[in-house]
């Protein structure tokens, strides 16, 4: 990917509470703490130190509790109106979670089919304005693959990967590095509820995203 050296590149990150982490409202952009306390802030520091020539300006537009349905509903305001060059989408765990924490409210669920449709819609609308879209999969910090929520998360994760491969969208499978770590450490070393990451887990996510960006900018 070719990039200018004189004009900053606007990288917009969008998703749910994993990225939100108290980011500034209405737009999470600028110093010192507008990006919140999660992986967007870590990724910003990493890129500024390791790759200053990229001149990346990160914007955090994640909102706690969002599902892919919510992102699509506000895509014009939260994403396209910010005029990004790159859009990094990490979404899906709440699409899964509502099946478990709201079992009597099916209207809150997002089916696997709708999840795929929403990903495709975000990709199409982003590309239509000339921006590049990137995906980061949902994860669940449970090593037992038979656990019902882990199994459903795996299905949604696999669907995102399939869409990314079909549409030639760069992606990160965030479950993979966590699975390797869960062979050594308990899930409680990374999260109290197997979803919301502590600072160590946020670093894992930021590191994987940095690696994707390094590959992208070297292409």
This prediction's pTM: 0.95
Q: Which of 6-10, 113-117, 146-150, 195-199 has the lowest mean pLDDT?
A: 6-10
Exactly one of 70, 137, 191, 196 is catalytic; name it.
196
Q: Is the pLDDT of residue 55 over 70?
A: yes
- Taking the mean position of all CA atoms in its chain, how far away is CA 186? 23
**193 belongs to the catalytic site:** yes
pLDDT at 46: 97
Q: What is the mean pLDDT of the chain?
A: 96
Exactly one of 99, 168, 193, 199 is catalytic; name it.
193
What's the whole-number mean pLDDT along residues 153-176?
Answer: 98
Q: Is the pLDDT of residue 86 over 60?
A: yes
Q: Is the pLDDT of residue 28 over 70?
A: yes
91, 67 Cβ separation under 8 angstroms: yes
What's the whole-number mean pLDDT along residues 177-198?
Answer: 97
Q: Based on the number of CB atoms within 10 Å of its own CB, is 56 exposed (0-12), middle (13-18) or buried (19 or more)? A: buried
**191 belongs to the catalytic site:** no
Exactly one of 17, 68, 137, 191 is catalytic; name it.
17
């Amino acid at each position: 990917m070719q990039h200018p050296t004189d004009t900053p590149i606007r990288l917009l990150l969008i998703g749910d509470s994993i990225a939100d982490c108290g980011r500034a409202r209405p737009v999470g952009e600028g110093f010192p703490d507008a990006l919140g306390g999660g992986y967007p802030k870590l990724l910003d520091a990493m890129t500024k130190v390791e790759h200053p020539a990229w001149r990346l300006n990160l914007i955090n537009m994640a909102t706690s509790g969002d599902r892919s349905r919510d992102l699509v509903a506000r895509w014009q305001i939260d994403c396209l109106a910010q005029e990004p060059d790159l859009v990094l989408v990490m979404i899906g765990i709440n699409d899964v979670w509502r099946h478990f924490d709201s079992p009597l409210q099916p209207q809150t669920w997002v089916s696997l089919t709708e999840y795929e449709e929403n990903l495709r819609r975000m990709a199409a609308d982003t590309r239509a304005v000339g921006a590049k879209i990137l995906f980061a999969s949902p994860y669940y910090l449970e090593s037992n693959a038979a656990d019902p929520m882990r199994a459903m998360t795996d299905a949604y994760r696999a669907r995102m990967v399939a869409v990314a491969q079909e549409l030639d969208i760069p992606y990160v499978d965030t479950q993979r590095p966590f699975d390797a770590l869960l062979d050594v450490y308990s899930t409680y070393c990374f999260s109290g509820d197997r979803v919301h990451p502590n600072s160590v887990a946020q670093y894992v996510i930021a590191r994987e995203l940095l690696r994707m960006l390094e590959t992208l900018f070297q292409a």
